[in-house]
Every structure is written in structure tokens, then in C-alpha cells.
Structure 1
């Protein structure tokens, strides 16, 4: 293959970073640096290593130079234009020189009003404008998944491990950014955000299930995990047999916890019975919905539980390999999962003969690099395969043609943890909690104007009021609650007795989504919140389809004009435009990002949340007056 490279050469450090990753995987290289014979089929078979190779360079040097991209293109026989296209798709990669120490400051809906903007102001004064600085710089970031400990930052460091910190104090952040904090001190002070599960029992008296090991079991110890019941469920699954495990999932009526709520047993059965081989399992751990952090807590403090659940899922559906795709902004979860996978493999819980039962299954961890769209299942598959994380048209669905064109099971983190509970108690017993399509327990990410933010586990059917009480009640007077995340909708104070089920939320025009419960008091700037949500979807649109690529931009522009009080025509004209944009994005976008991008804006307008008295007009109602 003629790659048509530019004349730029990689540095010795860049070459070493790439070669250290690829040499053990690809074997000896030929004279031009490629990995052995270079047929088209062999070249395509290496492309899935593109994202890890880009990470290797970025981790070592801090950015991706033209020479480094050329070297990656040569090693993998991928056209340099494709390598550049993938590198520029992800927010955590830079293709221009930048400071080796980068501070990502969350300014999203949970952190921005609770110190994120103040932190950005402090860092501007100390380090300079956003993105500037030779030794250290700062950039704005969408949600970092530490909403319960706002404000949050993440340090992306060349040649050192990344780490997150929350709640972030300006002085400490500046000191760490300048390198004054030694690595050991950074690990002690910053790396572990602390367990955010302020709960020991469910509000109705039951014991916790999904969270039962959080804060109890040492997340780095396989022995401690086993001492608390670890791997007993896998043994039980093997005793039951694969078909019986799938039937238990069907009997449980377990639905996906990522937002789509598709029946898990049906998905597993479709892949298990597919005649095409091999089958693949993918765990979607790219938790990027603003306000969501439940999967992070599970992965950081119960990593072996996810490894066990993936092993059960892989065995039951005929998969010998699973891919665990972890959000790039979760450095602690990534390290603990890597350690858990290594320990499980070493002790015979992963590999060619799991637990001596003749089961073959192994897990490969893949790091994302800052792209919300990769939470969409087909975009995630493209990302693993080494392409831009753009969604595919469906059908075919992943259960028919997924990863590498083979039948693929895709579940998110919380769904897989529920599998352990289904097999522990049995499908019918699991289904007896809640009802209809809302069975078992559900994790909710409670943040904002509540006394005790954190992850809470409740039975489906628990009311929103009960959940808020569990979180210590409200701080201030409640104005509204954003339910389901940026792609969700608003709930008013007179709707707090809604049962938290798929059906209950639908009855009030809302959605449970990813389990976000973000409370706003009467002092909250809802206009600013909606602008931030609109900006988030604008930034995160992959740009593949026109309705989303253009619609998210136009939506934000209309909100900005209304906020400034300079509508095109009048307010009613702008509102009609927003309604038209929402209809087009919902009906014509390829994937769920475009289809739900107008959801929160439409919900706020429908509920009149942006109409409030303007003190400059003697109390007459005036829309779009920021607080």
C-alpha cells in the first residue's frame, strides 16, 4: 500500500512509545517499518490498534505531531489522512504542540454553577487564557463524571499518569499544574476522589445489591473480592448452563440501564443463537452523559464485579473475547480495571480455561479519548475498529453485524452488574421488584441543590420525593429537577411523587435516561444551564448527518439571541424556530444524540421554566431574564 506520507519524521521518543505498544502485538517489522507482509486483509486486521497507538504517543509526549502520525500510519498501514481524521475526532488528543501539563476544568451543568466557573477565572489569572502556556495550560471540559463532588478537574500529563480531582481548590490545582506537587503527593491528594455512596440501605428497608461491595471490599484485591462472594455467581452460571442463564435473564425482564431500556435477555439470545462466528461482547463504559457518575463509582470500587459479569455474559452468548471500552476521562477506573483484568487472568478467571471449566474468555480494555458520541453503540464499535466514532445506520443491528461485522452483545456497566443479581436470586424473584418493564433496582446520580449528593440505589417504583429525602433533602427552595441528563427533561415540584419507573416517567413526559437527578433551586440560572446543554450537543455532534450537525448549532444560536433579548422578529418566531429544529432533529438524525439534543430545551419551554418576573418591568412577566 502506498501511504503517501509527508516528509515529517517522528522523534525517538514518539517512535519508542508506538513501538513499545505494537512490537509485542504485531511481531517483527520489515525494512520500511511495517509489520511483516502487507496484504490488504492484514492491513485491515491491524487498524483496530489505531486508537491505542495514538494514546501511546499522547501519553508520552502530550500531543500528536505530524511525524508521530506518519509513524503510526506506517506501522499499521493506515492512510495518513485516516490517521489524522481519527486523531482530530477526539477532544483529548491535540495535533498541535501544547503544554505537557493540561488541566481540564469541568464547566458543565453540575460543576459550572458550583465552582467550575470560579476555577476557570482563577486559572486564567494564574496560567493565562484557555489553551495557552508553555509548561502548563487549562481547558474547559464537558462533564468529568465527578458531579457529586463539584467542581472537578482532570490532569492530563505527558509522561505521567493522568488523574482526576474533586472537589477542586484553586490553589491546589494551580500548584499541581505547575508541577510543584510531587507524583507521590499527587497520588495521595488527588488520584482517589473518594467513595460517593452515602447509603447503607434502600429507602424501603431492603439491603443494597449493586452497591453492596462499594466501600467494603478492597478494589485492588481479588482475594478480598472472593471473600465477599466474588466469582460464586460465575460458578453458579456454569452449573446452570448457558441456555438457562439466558432464560433467567428473560424471566427477570432486565432492561438496559444505559437509557434505551432494551430487554437484555432478548439481546443475549439473539447473539447466542447466531450461527455466524465468532461472537463478541462489548461493555459500554463510555459514561459521558452530563450529570452521570454511577458507572464510574462501580468501576472504581468494584472492578472485579464487572470482570465477573462480563465473563458470564461472554460465556452465555458464545463470545471468547470481550472489549471493555472505558471513558478516557476516567483514569482511576481505567487503572483499577486494568489491574483487575490482569489479576483475574493470572489467577485463572480469564483466559483459555476459566476456573478449569473449559470456558475460554478474555477481556481487552480500550480507552476512549473524549467523545460523547462514542456512547452510542455503533459509534463505539467504529471507535474500537480504528475509525472515527460516527454512528452506523441501523439495521443491521449489532446483534447481527456488530464488531468486525460479527454478532455482538453490547451492554453498559450497570446492566452487567444487574446480571450478577439476577443469577443470585433468580429471574422471577428479580422481576418481582418493581413491575412491567421496570424490574429490579436502579442507580440514580443525585447532585445539585441536595444536602448529600451521590449514587443511590433504589427499587424501581420508589418516588422522586423518597429519593430526594434519601439524599438528605434539598438545599434552598426547589425550582425544578433535570431528570435523565442533558438528553432528558425537567420535572416540577408538584411532580415529586412520580414513581421512578420507565412507565411513570413517560406519563409526565420525562425519561429516566442514564439515572441523572440534578436539582436546581430558585437561584439557579436556568438560561445559562440550557445554553450549556445546547453548547454540549453542538460540540459533541459527530457532524455526520445534517439535521444534527446544523440543528445543534442553530439551536444554540436561537437560545443566545433570546438570552440577549435580540430575537429575529419576536420571541414567538424564535420559539417556533426552536420547535421546528427539534422536530427535524428528532425525525431525521441518524442516532440518539441528534434525536434527543432538543429534549431539555423543549421541556423547559413547555413548562414555562424560563418565564419569570423581570424587576426592570415592574414585575411584568418577561422571558429569558437570567438570574
Structure 2
């Protein structure tokens, strides 16, 4: 589901709510998702599609890079690195081919923005790819898509075909002299391939494992040539910036985190979905416009950017959801996957499931992640089942510390984040599992469920 609102009035949101919170929405990428055949070239061109490309092709490549840099666009894949600066790192005059690789391997638990975007509006990505390739002087681009999403794969292939037929891809695009070929590659479903260097190894036909850096992809990436790796939403945001202007883009969001972005609201909320809003909006404002938590329940904890970001609690409802605000509060904005959990959720159970995912998806290349995630799972399962010991809490904290910052890639850090943050905010709940010999949220053990289950004849 997507939530759209009228254009205009894209003011910077103030914490603490708004009398008309829906006016804070800024539908750009999602502006026509709900229209019939939104994914077609015809629909896209009715909404000023490929107009940004025409303006970009009339500019020298270096001017396009400077324009995107001045707009303040930051990577929407999690790290928030300035997009224009990443393009600027590509060496010029080196005599090597340059490549653009779009990371569409969306695998983070709770993250669901790039796949809906590609499904409903794939041409925004294709237009952004052509602009980016013009800027970095590339003639080859690759879209690395998560292979399980076959309907999206088919739709993306059709969009690429339409773009070739209309002259937006191929030889001498719009008479500019730019030649560009785009290849859509379906991955095999490995979470680790969302890491940019593992993605490049997979794209080259090898096992997807992170590379040692330096050299960085901008110097020696795909096929040992200069390569830019960008997230889907980052590239798809470029056409609107080129078409409507960098000042328009900067009128939204915060000073250091300008622009619009997709927030994926999920979990125990009344109306989950994609909410496209300026950076800096708060979860309180998003919940106000989405109907809040499910009826009769309250927020217990939530993630600002997927399961690999440190969790927040209800005391963080007014934290500005931009890179600086979330960072100052002790977490990361990440992919803006706002997973909300109410008071019926067992924190230990949630963290155990997340850790099982990270252990399963570890590529095994480095010891801290390979061994650490395995032992975290064993200890967490024991704690959840009531077989844990008091010393286990310090043990899982110590193991997480031995993983954090000591792995080849960010998967290890992501596995450690839920451990640290859950112990910080919910250590008592872990202790209850140990002293109470089981989960206090289990209907067979807890009086928490007595009132709700009495009419069913269930004994607490």
C-alpha cells in the first residue's frame, strides 16, 4: 500500500505532530503508483518522465555531478553517503571502461521500499541510470535484482525493452552521442550480496563474499574497473532533481539531510505501507497519519532502519528521522524500515529470530561473524527457552562486542546492533526469561494473558 498526498507545501516537519499531518507527505517517486499501468513508459511520460534526462544531457558530465552534489542527495541504501561525491570519485582519463551498478538486492528484514518502487515505477530508475552514466562517462550499467521477486524482474525487463524502443537506451541516446546498455541480473537470494563488494563478486560469477578494501570500487570495482554502486532509490531520485531543480529538492528535509524519501512503516500498526515524506519527519507524525498502533495496543519498541539498526523505544517517538537526528539518538537511519512492535511482543524472541537470520546469511569469510553469530543463536535460544544462566547476558554482550567493528563487512555490525540495544533498553526482560525459566509472554506461563484467554478456557 502506498500513501499519496497533493504536491506542494513540502515544508520541513516540526517534531510533535501537526493538525494536518498528511500534508507533510511529498509524493514524488510514489506520486502515481496507484494509477492503472503505472509501470509503463506511457504513464511515466505523462508525469514528466525523461524530462530530467533531456536537461542532464544538455549539460557537461562534470556539471551534472556538481549539480547532484549541490542538491545534497545522500545515498538511500543505508549509509547516507553523498551521491554526487561518490560519482566524483570515479577517475577520468584513465582509459578504462566505467560501470554503474544498481544495488536492488533488497534483503534487510523489514525493508520494503526498492522492490515496490521497481514494481510500480521502474522507469524512474532507468532514467536515473542514464543520467548517472552520462555523469560518470559510462556505457554499461547493471541492475542487480533479488532473484526471488520474479514479477518485478519481468516488469523491469519490460521497462528496459520499452526504453530501448523509445531511444532512451542504446546508441546515441536522444542525439547526445551517449551510448548505453543496461543489463538486468537476477541474484540467487543471498543477503550478503547486498554488500557492494560481495555484489560485484557475484556479478562477476564468483561466490558472493566481501572484498578487502582498499582498493575501493571507485578505483577497482567490477572487472577491476572504476565502478559506482548505488541504491535503487538513490538513482531513482536523480531525475526529479534534474527536472525540478536542486533548490526544490533542498526545500524539503533538513539542512544536512535534504529531500524526500520512502519510509516503510510495518508491524503492529493500523495502516502499514510506504510513506514518502521529507527527511526529518518523526515516527509520531507518521503514526498520526497512518492511524497509529493497532487498536488497543501501545508501542513497545521499533527499528528506524531495519533489523540491523539499534532499536528505539516509545521515548524516541519525536526523534527526527534523518541521518543526523537518528545518529545523535544512538541508532542509524539505514533503509528507513520502521518496524513497530507493541507490548505483546517478546524482545528476546524478536532478537533471537533476527540473529538466526544473520547467522544463516553469514558468508563465513571472517571468523568474528561466522563463529560469533552461531554462538549468539545458541545462547539466545537457551535464554528464550528458560535454560539460560545470569552470566549468559554478559556473554552475549561480550560476543557481540567481538563481532562489532571487527568483521569484513557491515553484516557483523548489523548482527551486533539488536543485541546491544535490546540489552540497553530491555535487560529486565532477558532476566525474566532466566529467573522465570521461560518467556513471560507465553500464555501457558504468564498472567499477562489471563484476561484475554479466560473466555476461551485457557489457563494462565
TM-score normalized by structure 2? 0.88
Contact 2:65-2:135 at 8 Å conserved across structures = yes
1:507 aligns with 2:328: yes
Aligned to 1:289: 108
Aligned counterpart for 2:196 among listed residues 360, 365, 377: 377
1:596 aligns with 2:414: yes
Aligned to 1:234: 53
Aligned to 2:215: 396
Aligned counterpart for 1:421 among listed residues 233, 240, 262: 240
Q: Could you say if the C-alpha distance between residues 556 and 313 of structure 1 is closer, same or farther in structure 2, counting changes exceeding 3 Å?
A: same
Q: Could you say if the C-alpha distance between residues 227 and 486 of structure 1 is closer, same or farther in structure 2, counting changes exceeding 3 Å?
A: same
Secondary structure of 1:351 counterpart: coil
1:197 aligns with 2:15: no
> How many Å separate the matches in 2 of 1:374 and 1:485?
17
**Offset, 1:401:** 0.5
Secondary structure of 1:587 counterpart: coil
Aligned to 1:625: 440
**Offset, 1:356:** 2.2
**Offset, 1:600:** 1.1
**Offset, 1:457:** 0.8
> How many Å separate the matches in 1 of 2:281 and 2:185?
36
Aligned counterpart for 1:469 among listed residues 281, 288, 301: 288
**Offset, 1:614:** 6.0
Aligned to 2:403: 585
> How many Å separate the matches in 2 of 1:616 and 1:593?
28
Aligned counterpart for 2:183 among listed residues 364, 367, 370: 364
> How many Å separate the matches in 2 of 1:312 and 1:431?
19
> How many Å separate the matches in 1 of 2:387 and 2:212?
39
Query: Which string of whole-angstrom CA distances, capped at 9 and with x for unpartnered residues, describes residues 198-245 of structure 1?
Result: 332473446411211312362453222212211111001011221111
**Offset, 1:625:** 3.4
Query: Which string of whole-angstrom CA distances, capped at 9 and with x for unpartnered residues, describes residues 341-361 of structure 1?
Result: 111112211111112221111
How many residues are aligned here? 426
> How many Å separate the matches in 2 of 1:213 and 1:319?
30
Contact 2:29-2:124 at 8 Å conserved across structures = no
**Offset, 1:624:** 5.3
Aligned to 2:449: none
Aligned counterpart for 1:478 among listed residues 272, 277, 299: 299
Secondary structure of 1:360 counterpart: coil
Contact 2:383-2:434 at 8 Å conserved across structures = no
Contact 2:386-2:437 at 8 Å conserved across structures = no
Q: Could you say if the C-alpha distance between residues 397 and 276 of structure 1 is closer, same or farther in structure 2, counting changes exceeding 3 Å?
A: farther
Aligned to 2:153: 334
> How many Å separate the matches in 1 of 2:373 and 2:433?
32
> How many Å separate the matches in 2 of 1:288 and 1:231?
29
Q: Could you say if the C-alpha distance between residues 204 and 623 of structure 1 is closer, same or farther in structure 2, counting changes exceeding 3 Å?
A: farther
**Offset, 1:502:** 0.9
Secondary structure of 2:100 counterpart: strand
Query: Which string of whole-angstrom CA distances, capped at 9 and with x for unpartnered residues, describes residues 421-448 of structure 1?
Result: 2212322442342234311012111011
Aligned to 2:63: 244
Higher relative contact order (CA 8 A, sep 6+): 2
Contact 1:280-1:403 at 8 Å conserved across structures = yes
Q: Give structure 1 regions of 4+ aligned residues with deviation exceeding 4 angstroms.
A: 612-617, 621-624
> How many Å separate the matches in 2 of 1:616 and 1:428?
56
> How many Å separate the matches in 2 of 1:482 and 1:616?
25
Aligned to 2:13: none
**Higher Rg:** 1
Secondary structure of 1:554 counterpart: helix
Q: Could you say if the C-alpha distance between residues 610 and 329 of structure 1 is closer, same or farther in structure 2, counting changes exceeding 3 Å?
A: farther
Contact 1:612-1:622 at 8 Å conserved across structures = no
Aligned to 2:373: 552
**Offset, 1:257:** 0.7
Contact 1:479-1:493 at 8 Å conserved across structures = yes
Secondary structure of 1:607 counterpart: helix
